[in-house]
Amino acid sequence: MKKQLQFLFYLLILAQTSALAQKYSNEFLSIGVGARAHGMAGAQTAVTGDITSAYWNPAGLSHIESPLQLGAMHAEWFGGIGQYDYLAFGKSLNRDKGSYLAFSLVRFAIDNIPYTINLVEPDGTINYDNVTEFSAADYALMGSYARRLRNPALTVGATAKVVRRVIGTFGSSWGFGADVGIQYRKGNLMLGAQGRDLTTTFNAWSFNLTEREREVFTKTGNEIPQNSTEITKPRLELGGAYRIKLNSKSSLMPAVDLELTTDGQRNVLVSSKSFNMEPRVGIEADYNRFVQLRFGVANFQKVKDDFDPNTSRLTVQPNFGVGLHWGRIQVDYALTDIGNVSQVQYSHIVSLKVDFKERNKAVE
């Protein structure tokens, strides 16, 4: 276990030496998956233990009890303009060792964007029939694996991801990265840590503009995009939670996550040019594993006052959620703000989780 922790620490330090990183690269992968997680403001590093663990902390996959599990989520952002979807499937490989394999797909897209570059004909007339549409879509395909260590309280996991980003027919990129996580559970105590983008996830962009598009870009004062590479620096996520039993059927579980970044100064609770720390706090109330109520706060930001630019106020993003569990089906709902501090825009998030049983083998 000591050697594995040393290797994880070494990877994190090695990845932090990358100097060509862009802040907020691949931000669609920072939204999160699962309505349960959104209801708790993303405080999941220690508590996650279902198919969404492939995103929040792959070590949590080892805690899935069913041999097969399916997860799906749909959400709409910015008043329905952005479509955010998630689909995942996992299978137990060895129950005794807690080994689990999962595959996940995330898509965030803005579809039906009007493309007006050919709106004006060469003679100056306007022809609306020349207006077409395109999509700006981001995809991430993730493969995850987790298993239990010799100490049954410890589980480890890793996620490899392929990122595909497309802007119509004139811009696209491929990217690759990996996450590594660990969890510790003893009694009602839960601890977790994840190194996200440990390999410095990169995106290699290529653009293919026609002569007509280049001409319009130049005349309108727009910069012609060039082939380039984006690099996402690693971030470390630490989490802790404790389950408080109220009686034989009810319990409360407060959870706290800390996200540590070093890619430049961010507008978070603890902010500096070299180090940032963003907390996420959530709580879940459970009754008889049938109904769950959730609340969380995150996105702590300092916003300047509209009337006095010399003063600022602290804002937070509240989240609410509810879950219902019937047999092998879990349905979760969350109401969350997208984090726009200037105008509150709440989104409805719905996710589904289904447990499947393996077919019994025929016995003569």
Domains identified in the chain and CATH numbers: 2-356 (2.40.160.40)
Q: How confident is the model at residue 360 (pLDDT cuts 50, 70, 90)?
A: low
pLDDT at res. 338: 58
Query: In whole angstroms, how far apart are CA 256 and each of 5, 237, 267, 338?
Result: 22, 10, 19, 20
pLDDT per position as a tens digit, 57-104 = 999 999 999 999 999 999 887 767 888 999 999 999 988 888 999 999
- CA-wise closest residue to 138 among 111, 165, 171: 165
pLDDT per position as a tens digit, 91-100 = 999 888 889 9
pLDDT per position as a tens digit, 327-347 = 999 999 999 875 444 455 678
Is the pLDDT at 12 greater than 50? The verdict is no
Q: How confident is the model at residue 115 (pLDDT cuts 50, 70, 90)?
A: confident
Residue 70 · residue 63 · CB < 8 Å: no
Relative to beta strand 201-207, strand 329-337 is unpaired
pTM above 0.85, yes or no: no
